Amino acid sequence: MAKPLISVLLPARNETARLGAALADLQNQTLTEIEIIVIDDGSTDDTAAIAQAAARKDSRVHVLRQEPRGIVAALNHGLARAQGEFIGRMDADDGCTPDRLAKQLALLRRKSLALASCQVAPPPGESYAGGYAAYAAWVNSLLTPEAIARERFVECPIVHPTLLMRAALLRQIGGWRDGDFPEDYDLILHVLAAGHRAAKVAEPLYFWRDHLDRASRVDPRYSPEAFARLKARYLAAGPLRGQRRVVVWGAGKTSRRALRPLVELGHEVAAWIDIDPREIGRRRRGAPVLPPDELPTLHGLPLLIYVGTRGARELIRPRLVRYGYTEGENAWFCA
């Protein structure tokens, strides 16, 4: 086969039930200049046999095996072997439409992006519930480079297995990093912090499955505390660089807990903003709790908004404009 245009990395561990379907969706892509790299992360079932059977029938499928070392090691193993100009992703229990890669590549090239994604939907016959439904609705609403960059501190603005990225850039930043944090969110924040642009195809081209043993539900690297630590690092090194004092919208326990890693990095809360009359007038960690109309008195200090209640962003945004704050410049939603 000629050198592929796209290398799709597909890490798998004990995915006998669904790997075949995921591989079929990739093999049936309308864009055929691809290689599919299955990285078997120490499976104890028939995952490797299924992948090897596919490789015997299709020269575009390659199988790498490693002792169980986790998704970061698996992805970097695959990246080291990838030949494509672009790196795509797929999870072994998900699916996608036949035109997924073609449409994402067209968007990436047309908009001169570093990374192209797409909207997600549950597999046919399945549905999202609770927090996953809310997250899917939010992440699907972020289509443009501006929206993705503006809301990057709320949550991970790209569903990891949907990404298509320039291989040279991915290698330049060192691939995926391992640590006490979600590797997918770290990668996206790393790319955006370097000033690169990402956007999404405004179609659900990827069928993203939610299940009870998903890593984001059971792995401590995906806990709220881990997300808070990661956000704090990127906030401190980016928008808050050189700014020790901040204003925080949200004086409740959840906001204070989420803010703790930033305080540990040396930042100080100059004031808390809240609309709860029971909070206004109190002091939290030595700083006063003030109503929103006091924002103009705070001399443009950076504003971090840790209010995650459904519909809160839509209510807060008009006030930001009224009080002289610009989202993504001196105000950031962080929940």
In a shared domain, residues 171 and 283: no
In a shared domain, residues 43 and 178: yes
In a shared domain, residues 191 and 262: no
| Host domain of residue 146 | 6-222
Mean of pLDDT over the chain: 95
In a shared domain, residues 150 and 297: no
In a shared domain, residues 111 and 37: yes
154-186: per-residue pLDDT in tens?
Answer: 999 999 999 999 999 999 999 999 999 999 999
Write the CATH number for 96: 3.90.550.10
From CA 132, how far away is CA 307, in angstroms rounded?
18
Q: Tell me the pTM.
A: 0.95
- The per-residue pLDDT for 217 is 62
Name every residue whose Cβ is closer than 8 Å to that of residue 311 and which is 6 or more positions away in sequence.
none
From CA 211, how far away is CA 310, in angstroms rounded?
23
In a shared domain, residues 132 and 260: no
Give one DSSP letter per residue of 47-69, joined into a string.
HHHHHHHHHHH-TTEEEEEESS-
196-231: per-residue pLDDT in tens?
Answer: 999 999 999 999 998 766 666 667 889 999 999 999
Task: Give the total number of structural domains in the chain.
Answer: 2
Tokens 């609403």, residue?
141
The alpha carbon torsion through 49, 51, 56, 57 (nearest 10 deg) reads 120
* Cα distances (angstroms) measured from residue 146 to each of 140, 141, 152, 197, 322: 14, 12, 10, 8, 21
Check the CA dihedral 60-66-71-75 and report its sign: negative
Tokens 């703790």, residue?
260
85-142: per-residue pLDDT in tens?
Answer: 999 999 999 999 999 999 999 999 999 999 999 999 999 999 999 889 999 999 999 9
- Do the beta carbons of residue 232 and residue 265 sit within 8 Å? yes
- Do the beta carbons of residue 55 and residue 27 sit within 8 Å? no
- Of the pLDDT bands very low, low, confident and very high (cuts 50, 70, 90), residue 297 is very high
Domain assignment present for 229: no
- The per-residue pLDDT for 219 is 78
